Structure 1
Amino acid sequence: MFFVRTAGEQDLEKVRALLRETWHATYDHIYGADKVSELHASWHSLASLKARLAKKNAEFLVADDGKTIGGMGYAAMSTEMTKTVELNMLYVGPRYQRQGVGRDIFAELETCFPDAEVMRLEVEPQNEPAIAFYTAHGFVEVGRTENCGNAQSGIPALIFEKPLENH
């Protein structure tokens, strides 16, 4: 049984391991293992995760069963769009997928931003399981970007949004 809680610095190595495993399982067939390793090293470095942990107007959650981190989520208020929270990361370890871990993390993240009216995310167009998950949780496609994550990534993504009902 996993419990969703706020992440701490002591969790970051396990979170990095979860991200490495999940990213390779999800994206190797799309980008190749070398590109996935390169992106993981850059986007999920310990310094990058520590910066997310310290960021204001953000929430970094983990699903923990006392021994294992089975999933993680990270969302932050947008600096560019008013009343918008950006779901930057929601990952569940491959062996824990389809057991409600992602649903539980997502449900908690939805409640963490009382001033937000919209949740927004970017998802890889070929990541059909993620698209199905987000669609089932009320998201709709509103656009596309050619640079997922940062302005120079060159990685295409679909942009999804969902109105938040905490008003």
Structure 2
Amino acid sequence: MFLRSAGERDLKAVRALLVETWHATYDSIYGTERVAEITDDWHSLPSLKARLERLDSEFVLVDDGREIIGMAFASAIDKGETVMLHQLYVKPAHQGKGVGSLLLGEVESCFPDARRIRLEVEEANVQATAFYRAKGFSKVGTTADCGKEGSGIGAAVLERPTAL
């Protein structure tokens, strides 16, 4: 496994990873049709390309030499004081093998001046919630619009200090 920055040539594979992971994770929560709507919007190729071009952000991948098995996207907010982890996804077959930890560590190292890292997580996603709690995150609030303004998707907001 190796970490690398995402590039435009990776976007189709990243989209496939996101669609697979979202269906595996959220079909039982939101239903297959709603998950398809979300992934068609949030994980479209133009949406992913916009992430590549966003300033003060990092879009990183874990590649096993054959395929992309994990991805993370984060940006600096609050004048660089906070890292907002927008996405961290690992293909279902590779979960529980350290890929998520590798991505989280890389994202954090990309923002050395940040004081905290924050994310939003669907509380019904028990596996993700447990992962983040094991990494020292605690709930600091909630949002009614997880992932995108106007989404109507509720989520917990988790945060922890960055490693100094």
Q: Same fold (TM over 0.5)?
A: yes
Work out whether residues 118 and 158 of structure 2, in 8 Å CA contact, stay in contact via their aligned partners in 1: yes
Corresponding residue of 2:106: 108
- Deviation string, structure 1 residues 122-142 (Cα, Å, up to 9, x no partner): 000100000000011111100
Shift of the alpha carbon at 1:69? 0.4
Shift of the alpha carbon at 1:114? 1.4
Shift of the alpha carbon at 1:65? 1.3
Q: How much identity, in percent, do the aligned residues show? A: 52
Distance 2:59 2:41 in 1: 18
Corresponding residue of 2:117: 119
Work out whether residues 83 and 108 of structure 2, in 8 Å CA contact, stay in contact via their aligned partners in 1: no
Query: What is the TM-score of this pair, normalised by structure 1?
Result: 0.95
Query: What is the TM-score of this pair, normalised by structure 2?
Result: 0.97
Tell me the SS of whatever aligns to 1:86.
strand
Please say if 1:28 is aligned against 2:27.
Answer: yes
Please say if 1:97 is aligned against 2:95.
Answer: yes
Unaligned runs of 5+ residues in structure 2 are: none
Shift of the alpha carbon at 1:82? 5.3
Tell me the SS of whatever aligns to 1:59.
strand
Unaligned runs of 5+ residues in structure 1 are: none
Cα distance change on mapping 1:147 and 1:81 into 2, 3 Å:
farther
Corresponding residue of 1:61: 60
Runs of 4+ in 1 over 3 A off after TM superposition: none
Corresponding residue of 2:6: 7
The residue type paired with residue 139 of structure 1 is F
Query: How many residue pairs were aligned?
Result: 164
Corresponding residue of 1:44: 43
Distance 1:114 1:129 in 2: 28
